[in-house]
Amino acid sequence: MDSHLRLIELRHAAVIYPAEAGAHRRVWSDVSITVKRGEWVVVAGANGSGKSTLASVLLGLCPLSAGELHRQEGMKLSGLLQTADAQFLGETIGEEFAWQLGADIQDAARMRSAVDEALSRVGLLLSPDHPVQRLSGGQKQLIHLAAVLASSPDLLVLDEPTAMLDPATRAIAIDAVRTANRNGTAVVWITHRLEEAANAHRVVAFSDGAVAFDGDPRVFFYGEETGDAGNHEESCAMITPCRSLGLEPPFIVKTVEQLAAKKCRFSPSPLTWEDLAEAVILRCR
């Protein structure tokens, strides 16, 4: 990979936390990950697997115990952690945006316009004077997302960004990030909602503090497709990378597997309901 495409890179990284009575708890061991410009990487894994540690490491909040972290010089990095309350620095929405954009926008009118535009991207119609303490948990999450998107980062690191959102609001948030990604922002999206991997260029899956899979989402959910229709039943019954890690695949994947078992097969395997609908339409023509 050309060096100018690498935004951030971990090499043989380890994270060890101190525990009680002088003991230590190893969170990561020998983790190597590269994120390149314009890429969308979904990070998956069971609870305690080490995936959330990635956000803290990439954002500089958690030091490495061993290994190396390289960032491209001049890269603009923003992020969103799970603890929404702890991340607020201002008392109002406007003050929070000022912390994010103050260095770029000094004019009050331009700042107000930027805030209004950013909030509309995530479906919020709130005044910049609205107190933070009167926001719901989901609204706080969206405010943070709107603010980091407004800063136009080169790399956006999001840890469970839809955890507190209802399905309709979740779709708005995903669409806002997708738009930023299409405009060149690289995204590291850490989630337990595996259906969100449909947006990804790559899936990185953690297990026991190590990277257990790094590759194409379709391979993660369906395994390697051989192209041999006669062996399709066998390939559907195989233990996929997703299942081998003890993770439950999304309902769309289960549906496609059930259809394949009935000899209704699609190539490439659908990752979204839209993909499946289009494949069915093409099959029925």
Q: Note if 160 is an active site residue.
A: yes
The Cα–Cα gap between 101 and 3 comes to: 29
The helix (H) or strand (E) run that includes residue 120 is: helix 108-121
Catalytic residue among 160, 195, 196, 233: 160
Quote the distance between the C-alpha of residue 76 and its chain's center: 17
Q: Are strands 40-45 and 66-71 parallel, antiparallel or unpaired?
A: unpaired
Q: What is the CA radius of gyration of the chain?
A: 21
SS3 29: strand
The Cα–Cα gap between 268 and 194 comes to: 18
Of the candidates 216, 146, 135, 156, the residue with the CA atom closest to the CA atom of residue 8: 156
The Cα–Cα gap between 101 and 107 comes to: 11
CA end-to-end span of the chain, whole Å? 41
* Residues classed as catalytic: 160
